[in-house]
Structure 1
Amino acid sequence: MKGGKSKAETKKPDSRLAVKKGKGTEKAKPIARPKKGAAAAKDPNKPKRPPSAFFVFMEDFRKSYKEKHPNNKSVAAVGKAAGDKWKSLTDAEKAPYISKAEKRKTDYNKTMDAYNKKLAGDTASAAADEDESEKSKSEVEDDEDDQTGEDDDDSEDD
């Protein structure tokens, strides 16, 4: 064998370090996630989060864009044009949208505080109702023991 390598001279890479390739490899198992229905139920009365300054800008931009392009039905085209326009605006031009967004955020925080207080009040009243029902149950059981004339403490002393 001229110039060729013998089997002894060729070394196979260590199987522990080698990456297996080909059809025989197993696919990675997906991460177990809870099913969509298993998520906690959302409260429909919960206030929605306020829009960012960009989305406040989008409200105005959509109106003007639809006037200029009445035949355009693509939401993606409107979004792309709005994004390009937003990037080109100076800080001074963005200021009114930022102030509107901040105002909406303060309003949202107020409504969330009221919402959380309402939830806390509902859960506190529910907990109070449970405590009262447990108390009344124990009082009823004590009254029944007294009426039968059975008193465990007296019978042990005899």
Structure 2
Amino acid sequence: MKGGRSKAETKRTDAKLSVKKRGAGAEKAGKKPAKKAKATKDPNKPKRPASAFFVFMEEFRKQYKEKHPNNKSVAAVGKAGGDKWKSLSEADKAPYVARAEKRKTEYNKNLEAYNKKIAEGPADDEESDKSRSEVNDDEEDEEEGSGEEEEDDD
């Protein structure tokens, strides 16, 4: 057999190319574990304050829209704002930094108040505990009542 393979060579090559089959348990073990569900965010939690750049961008967007009313691109506004921010000196950035610091102190106060409120626990839980005990009391009353009814029938 010129140019052909012998049966022994074919078996060795096929063995190398063949895919090993795993059992059902081994297949699952190789997979990544499922992602955990994200915890739901509390809508009452205070939002983080804007940085000095974003305080600057609030003002810059208004100015940019006045100069370029036909521009609908958010990316163009962001790019122009970023370029402008980079070109500002530290003295020019100072008012935006001061406003950002003020927002940050307000945020910290609000966050402390929020954390205290969470630590105390919501009042709704206390009411639900009362309702649970009332439900349990009702079940106990029914059990006692059923025994008394049998005695009354005699």
Query: Structure 2-normalised TM-score?
Result: 0.59
Counterparts of 2:101 and 2:31 in 1: how far apart (Å)?
Answer: 41
> Which stretch shows the higher mean deviation, 116-125 or 50-59?
116-125
Structure 2 counterpart SS, 1:104: helix
Structure 2 counterpart SS, 1:39: coil
Q: Any idea what the Cα deviations from partners look like across 1:100-130, whole Å, max 9, x if unmatched?
A: 0000000000000000000001169959x97
Give the CA deviation at 1:30.
Answer: 8.3
Which position in structure 2 is the counterpart of 1:70?
69
Mapping for residues 40-119 of structure 1, pairs under 5 Å = 40-119=39-118
Which position in structure 2 is the counterpart of 1:34?
35
Q: Which amino acid aligns with 1:34?
A: K
Counterparts of 2:31 and 2:93 in 1: how far apart (Å)?
Answer: 43
% identical aligned pairs: 66
Give the number of equivalent residue pairs.
103
Counterparts of 1:31 and 1:87 in 2: how far apart (Å)?
Answer: 43
Counterparts of 1:33 and 1:83 in 2: how far apart (Å)?
Answer: 39
Q: Which amino acid aligns with 1:94?
A: K
Counterparts of 2:48 and 2:34 in 1: how far apart (Å)?
Answer: 26
Residue segments in structure 1 that go unaligned for 5+ positions in a row: 1-23, 138-158
Mapping for residues 116-127 of structure 1, pairs under 5 Å = 116-122=115-121, 126=125
Q: Which amino acid aligns with 1:75?
A: V
Give the CA deviation at 1:31.
Answer: 5.5
Q: Any idea what the Cα deviations from partners look like across 1:22-79, whole Å, max 9, x if unmatched?
A: xx9xxxx9865626xx110110111100000000000000000000000000000000
Q: Which amino acid aligns with 1:58?
A: M
Quickly say closer, same or farther: Cα 1:75–1:30, change in 2 above 3 A: farther
State the 4+ residue runs in structure 1 displaced beyond 3 angstroms: 29-33, 123-127
Q: CA RMSD in A?
A: 2.7
Q: Which amino acid aligns with 2:35?
A: P
Going by fraction, where is helix more abundant, 1 or 2? Answer: 2
Structure 1 counterpart SS, 2:121: helix
Quickly say closer, same or farther: Cα 1:120–1:98, change in 2 above 3 A: same
Q: Which amino acid aligns with 2:110?
A: T
